[in-house]
Amino acid sequence: MKQIIITVILCATALVALRIAAPKQECNSNVIEAIYARRSIRQYTDCAVEREKLMEVARAGIAAPNAMNRQAWAVRIVDSKEWIDACTAAFVPTIEGTPFGEHLLTADFKNMFRNAPAVIFVAAEPSVYAGVDCGILGQNMMLAAYQLGLGTCCLGSPVGFMNSEAGAKFLADLNLPEGYQLQYAIAIGYADEAPEAKPRDESKISFVE
């Protein structure tokens, strides 16, 4: 009888321990808050971003859902001022005298990544799902960056430049897997502005009855 009682107690203790250890499926309101509070940042301080934070942002990115879990993406992080400055020096002549150049080359211009001290490049294996997969990955990274106190801005202009003859050397520097195509770049750093949210058109949303 004593042995049976001891066995029951041990089983009950084990069940309690398992219940405590099991992950709680609770709604995390911080995600919703981050979605509404995040802004695209186009002015940054000169403060370098810690590599630990950059790595955490990248990890959050590759945690994104993706088609058949193929993870057919590549993430490259650049925080070298020398590389960013050299890339910018090659980029500027390609936009001088254009409307985009007039918009970007203002008095406070420092680099082509909105003056950010670091940039994250995202590339993907060509597929029908590449845009969706990389879009989710990028949103994960930008939300994670916000939670870590960093600002971000998703950029498309570096893609056209780096796919051109003038930018080929810098694209090669990323050492992407063969056949992978650059999708976008994310400027990342400590924000030097606090822009207001732009209005969203909720008429774009409707229920299908």
Q: Where are the domains of the chain?
A: 29-193
Average pLDDT over residues 42-66: 97
Contacts of 181 (CB under 8 A, 6+ apart): 123, 124, 125, 126, 130
CA-to-CA distance for 10 and 102, rounded, in angstroms?
A: 74
pTM for this model (two decimals): 0.84
Please write the tens of the pLDDT for every residue from 128-148.
Answer: 999 999 999 999 999 999 999
Per the model's pLDDT, the better-predicted residue between 185 and 19 turns out to be 185
Helix spans in the chain (H) = 2-21, 29-37, 51-62, 81-95, 99-104, 130-147, 157-162, 168-173
Mean pLDDT of 80-94: 97
Nearest-10 crossing angle of helices 130-147, 29-37: 100
CATH, range 29-193: 3.40.109.10
pLDDT greater than 80 at residue 42: yes
Residue 125: DSSP 8-state: -
* Phi and psi, residue 166, nearest 5°: -65, -30
Q: Could you tell me the pLDDT band of residue 84, with boundaries at 50, 70 and 90?
A: very high
Question: For the chain, how big is the Rg over CA atoms in Å?
Answer: 23
Query: Sorting pLDDT into bands at 50, 70 and 90, what band is 1?
Result: low
CA–CA separation, 135 and 184 (whole Å) = 9
Q: Residue 169: which pLDDT band, with cuts at 50, 70 and 90? A: very high
